[in-house]
Structure 1
Amino acid sequence: MVSTGRSPWARGRILASLAVLTAALLAFHSAVPNTVGRFGSLLETFLPWLGLAVPLLLALALLRRSAIALVALLLPAAVWGSLFGGRVVAGDHGAHDVMAVQHNVSDVNADPSGTARALIGSGPDLIALEELTPSALPVYERELAPEYPHRAVRGTVGLWSKYPLTDVRAVDIRPEGVGHDWNRGVRASARTPWGDIAVYVAHLPSVRVRWNGFSSGRRDESAGLLGAALAAEKLDRVILLGDLNSTVDDRGLAPVTTRLDSTGRNSAFSWPAAFPVSRIDHIMTRAATVTHVRTLPATGSDHLPVAAGITLDP
């Protein structure tokens, strides 16, 4: 691209407009409609990656020698930094009351025994697993039982705990039209030294990117049912561990994210394991604080395990 003799302030107006558009999408993503193709949710699922437009536009602005584009790029850079800058800084791995691990172990995991041992090695107090299969479940039970004698399993999700578990029950998060054999939610009370904590494990339906948009209707319906269960929870302290099949920026998870604290200074992208681009595996709390979030080394799953330190509010 060869520059003309025009002033640097006259060149690159299209690039400057694209920079302003990028800033607007970052800052006002909730204004993107979700009525057709759920494009708002699709944008929010990968929202941090919109920041890649900044170095691309920067290179084009330098090549074009456009002063107006360079100045305009300060806007999306500032907005991205405000939204996501804190997530790229490693969190504090210091004091915590409870350590929890969340992992979608994959229903085609060829090494459930090795996966269980890897999770034990990280030293958590609570371990939540999804995509448990009838053949793999006995393996996880055998490997985890010595360190985690208390368990709550319903359908394809389970919780293993160092603390005694009481009031164990399934959480019905089935979207309309899904059979009764679809069980992806469980709740238990963990009796800890700080008092009882309601611990939920959930696996929301998968989403798909199709030619006509983002297929997330069932996921959103399931999130609404989970949110209602959390709202009805009588215990003050709550920990949610689960594969929610989207990021905390996605409005489809609002029934859950508006009721729980999902902070965590590290992005901790968990999926896909080979080249993680988003964190769809979450550890959230109520009347407690997630002090740090990190991923653990890959197992035989297409997800990375996610670990979090949690401090309990007085």
Structure 2
Amino acid sequence: MTGSERGQTMKQVDAADAVDAAGTTETGRDGSGRWGAGSGAWHAGIRRAIRTGFRPGLWKRGPVLAALALLLGLLMLLHAKIPNRVGNLGSLVETFLPWFGLFIPVLLAGALLRRSASAVAALLLPVMVWLNLFGGLLSDKSHPGSDLTVASHNVGADNPDPAGTARDLAASGADVLALQEMTEQARGTYEKGLAKAYPYHTVQGTVGLWSKLPLSDTQPVDIQQDVGPLADTKPADVKMTDNRALRTTVATDQGPLAVYVAHLGSARVTPRTGFWTDSRDRNAQALGKAIAAEQNERVVLLGDLNGTMDDRAFADIASQLRSAQDAAGDGFGFSWPAKFPVVRIDQILVRGVKPESAWSLPATGSDHLPVAAGINW
């Protein structure tokens, strides 16, 4: 179609719009005063939408929005390529990676306001990447029934009500319960509050395990040991007096189950260091080495790892164990902070057993939510 022909066509459409519009009054009623009695306005609206939909200007609008949409998609797609050399930026992005999906509706609203077809089309990239990464977490993958229920809770050193926390955990029905961040002052309270429900327990430093089934081969796990490229960052004064990890064997009807309980070092965001994770990363490498040396094919890791499984720092652990929440949970399973959870740093990871369900328990006096999972052989 030539330029003159297109111009003639546009004039014909405009004339048709004018004729159709003449069949209505300013109030939107036809001559009889009834709403919608004349269909001319509707026909004109449809023709106008079709006509404007093919205007080349719609694809030229919003280049900044289109560029931002593409950058968002590439950021999520290539998150593993973001370097950690400056402020651990890569790990920081991976920690909050699911939340980058919130930028999608914001950009979509901007694209619609600008009537930018290019921006809407560009948004297909971040949408597809986000769904590929996290779409599986939007559905409930849990199944009823399990051979064993395990739970884990960072009870919090500043917990104002350890007795109430112990009561709530005892009522959870978990067969195996792991606690982290117990203080010497609160240890007796937890032992007393959990004694009736759990006849077997062990405490190593600030972590402990309570069980309805017999325990054996219990030992501390030195997650502060020198491992890999982070070995030279180990503080010279690190001692085992404040142990943060243990390993034990739970005797089940299906056979022995190796259970690890761990509380890795903290992660902090500061203006000077950025996302500081030196202690946590060192602990994660040591824990990964201990799990790799485990002889039992059935393993469960319960603990506050102070990081998400999307974080590259846990690549060694994630390559050996699978997340119960990812495999059999309903949703993202965010566990911290308890009042408004935004990340899942409390983990239940397994090997050699099948997760059937995973969920968060109601909040206690801690700043973490307890997490639980049902597993089968």
From 146, 164, 181, the equivalent of 2:241 is 181
**Number of the residue aligned with 1:20:** 70
Amino acid at match of 2:352: A
State whether structure 2 residue 258 is matched by structure 1 residue 198.
Answer: yes
1:93 to partner: Cα distance: 4.3
Amino acid at match of 1:186: L
For the 8 Å contact 1:284–1:290, the answer to whether it is kept is no
From 130, 137, 147, the equivalent of 1:97 is 147
**Number of the residue aligned with 2:295:** 234
**Number of the residue aligned with 1:54:** 104
From 177, 198, 204, the equivalent of 1:148 is 198
* Residue deviations 1:288-309 (CA, integer Å, cap 9, x gap): 1222221111100000001111
Quick one: distance in 2 between partners of 1:135 and 1:308?
A: 29
1:89 to partner: Cα distance: 2.1
TM superposition score normalised by structure 1 = 0.95
For the 8 Å contact 2:324–2:373, the answer to whether it is kept is no
1:277 to partner: Cα distance: 0.1
**Number of the residue aligned with 1:303:** 368
Unaligned runs of 5+ in 2: 1-54, 226-233
Quick one: distance in 2 between partners of 1:98 and 1:274?
A: 29
Amino acid at match of 1:111: D
**Number of the residue aligned with 2:285:** 224
Quick one: distance in 1 between partners of 2:114 and 2:106?
A: 12
* Residue deviations 1:4-34 (CA, integer Å, cap 9, x gap): x971100111111111111111111101111
Amino acid at match of 2:345: I
* Residue deviations 1:251-273 (CA, integer Å, cap 9, x gap): 01112111111142331100000
* Residue deviations 1:208-227 (CA, integer Å, cap 9, x gap): 11224210111111100000
1:165 to partner: Cα distance: 0.2
Amino acid at match of 1:24: L
Structure ID, larger Rg: 2
Quick one: distance in 2 between partners of 1:119 and 1:36?
A: 41
Amino acid at match of 2:339: A
1:91 to partner: Cα distance: 3.1
1:201 to partner: Cα distance: 0.2
* Residue deviations 1:112-164 (CA, integer Å, cap 9, x gap): 11111111222111100001111111111111111111111100000001110
- Higher RCO by CA contacts (8 Å cutoff, separation 6 or greater): 1
Amino acid at match of 1:305: P
Instruction: Give SS of 2:243's match.
Output: coil
Range moving further from structure 2, 87-96 or 237-246: 87-96
For the 8 Å contact 2:148–2:374, the answer to whether it is kept is yes
Bigger share in strand:
1
Quick one: distance in 2 between partners of 1:162 and 1:262?
A: 23
For the 8 Å contact 2:251–2:257, the answer to whether it is kept is yes
State whether structure 2 residue 174 is matched by structure 1 residue 114.
Answer: no
**Number of the residue aligned with 1:268:** 333
Instruction: Give SS of 2:302's match.
Output: strand
Bigger share in helix:
2
For the 8 Å contact 2:222–2:240, the answer to whether it is kept is no
Instruction: Give SS of 1:301's match.
Output: coil
Range moving further from structure 2, 149-158 or 264-273: 264-273
Aligned length: 308
Quick one: distance in 2 between partners of 1:261 and 1:288?
A: 10
Instruction: Give SS of 1:181's match.
Output: helix
**Number of the residue aligned with 2:344:** 279
Give the 5 Å matches for 1:75-90.
Answer: 75-90=125-140
State whether structure 2 residue 120 is matched by structure 1 residue 70.
Answer: yes
TM superposition score normalised by structure 2 = 0.79
Identity %: 52
Range moving further from structure 2, 276-285 or 108-117: 108-117
